[in-house]
Amino acid sequence: AQSVTQLGSHVSVSEGALVLLRCNYSSSVPPYLFWYVQYPNQGLQLLLKYTTGATLVKGINGFEAEFKKSETSFHLTKPSAHMSDAAEYFCAVIPDSSYKLIFGSGTRLLVRP
Amino acid sequence: GAVVSQHPSRVICKSGTSVKIECRSLDFQATTMFWYRQFPKQSLMLMATSNEGSKATYEQGVEKDKFLINHASLTLSTLTVTSAHPEDSSFYICSAPNPRAGVESPLHFGNGTRLTVT
pLDDT in the model for residue B103: 60
Residues in chain A: 113
CB contact under 8 A, A44 and B93: yes
Distance, CA of B72 to CA of B31 (rounded, Å): 10
Query: Residue B20 pLDDT more than 80?
Result: yes
A17 touches chain B (CB under 8 A): no
- Rounded to a whole number of angstroms, the distance from the CA of B83 to the nearest CA of chain A is 24
Which has the minimum average pLDDT: A28-32, A106-110, B112-116?
A28-32
Query: Residue A17 pLDDT more than 80?
Result: yes
Taking CB atoms and an 8 Å cutoff, what residues of chain B touch A52?
104
CB contact under 8 A, A41 and B112: yes
Mean pLDDT of A67-74: 92
* pLDDT tens-place string over residues A34-68: 999 998 877 888 899 998 888 999 999 999 999 99
Instruction: Report the SS3 class of residue B105.
Output: coil
**pLDDT band for position B27 (50/70/90)?**
confident
H helices within B35-107, ranges in order? none
CB contact under 8 A, B32 and A99: yes
* Among chain A residues, CA nearest to B45: A103
**What torsion do the CA atoms of A89, A65, B46, B41 make, to the nearest 10 degrees?**
-20
pLDDT-above-90 percentage for chain B: 69
Mean pLDDT of B89-106: 80
Rg of chain B on CA atoms, in Å: 14
Query: Residue B51 pLDDT more than 80?
Result: yes
* pLDDT tens-place string over residues A73-94: 999 999 999 999 999 999 998 8
A30 touches chain B (CB under 8 A): no
